A = this chain, B = another copy of it.
């Protein structure tokens, strides 16, 4: 029961290890007739790929996607779309240090405990590389959402304790700095911090904010598949995420009801909210306001300083991890959060298609 499938109707199943032949995904349940070509997917893969700046792995990878099925004459067929991204830069090398020794902060020990065996040539299945497949699948969901007038985007909202300041907030700035922050000043400070940590061989964490505009009200299922519950699963399943907030999140727990409730009012004939503490979701169902979510990432566990740990013979040992690693994972994770959220939202829209006999009667 390896849990590599996500989604109820728009269903994705990923595969691949970091140092095997490649990673990829099958998207089953994408409706027919969506205009799609490889470039729609490639541009998101490029946002995620390593080697873009000194803050990301210097490993050069092309991350070129091949569409193996499900698209014909530029449109989706309604049948499974298989996307393959070959691994190109696996170097044959001596994995000695990490072969038998469990890296702190990594899943190595867990994999051995679970399977009795693992691909020791890197993170294998637990590598961040697995998210390339998610990004590819999510690019399709995002394209479908756009056709329905829904726009999903994300950005880095903090690096360590450096947060974006609303006074300087400018979405256009996101593509201007290597950290994808919508605040030029914060980005500058954060860059200095990351550079300092990189030189020390250490790493930092941070957070990503996700916003979806244009979601219709009524999407999300009432109990276990609440829109916020599925978003939480989707985002928490991204490696290194340690917390998820919806709307005001923790701040809501410090507020009182009379302040935290978002009052409804009619705005241009549409039910709207005066504030959006809830992040667009009440009782697990969208209320038509912006969906707002925040994901917090731990610092990259691969650091250059020597660490104490144990090996697979049950001995206390020290480990020094070689290779090139990101001193911060957050900027590369922005598109991962964005696309995972898109999958949840589009899947929610599809699930909602059968919520009433009135809808069914429009179709038959």
Contact = CB atoms under 8 A, between A and B. Distances in A.
Nearest to A116: B356
Nearest to A114: B218
Interface residues of A, number: 164
A260 B17 contact: no
Contacts of A258: 202-203, 303, 305, 307
A243 B236 CA distance: 11
Contacts of A66: 21
Contacts of A13: 5, 13, 26, 28, 80
Interface stretch (A45-53, A104-112, A172-180, A184-192): A104-112
A261 B221 contact: no
A115 B34 contact: no
A24 to B, nearest CB: 7
Contacts of A195: none
Count identical subunits in the complex.
4
Interface centre among A31, A144, A197 (most CB of B within 10 A): A31
A256 B159 CA distance: 11
A199 interface: no
B222 A125 contact: yes
A322 to B, nearest CB: 15
Closest 5 CB pairs of A and B: A107-B283, A3-B225, A3-B221, A110-B285, A113-B218
A80 to B, nearest CB: 4
A116 B360 CA distance: 13
A78 B308 contact: no
Contacts of A302: 257
A299 B257 contact: yes
A228 B263 CA distance: 33
A197 B68 contact: no
Given A1-B9, A5-B224, A16-B69, 12 more contacts: A4-B80, A5-B11, A26-B26, A32-B117, A68-B84, A77-B125, A102-B271, A105-B262, A125-B223, A144-B360, A148-B361, A232-B232
A22 to B, nearest CB: 6
Contact of A33 (B197, B298, B300, B358): B358
A244 B236 contact: yes
B263 A221 contact: no
A135 to B, nearest CB: 14
A351 B115 CA distance: 12
B285 A113 contact: yes
Contact of A226 (B236, B262, B263): B236
A283 B116 contact: no
B79 A17 contact: yes
A354 interface: yes
Contacts of A351: 1, 3
Contacts of A5: 5, 11, 13, 28, 224
A16 B316 contact: no
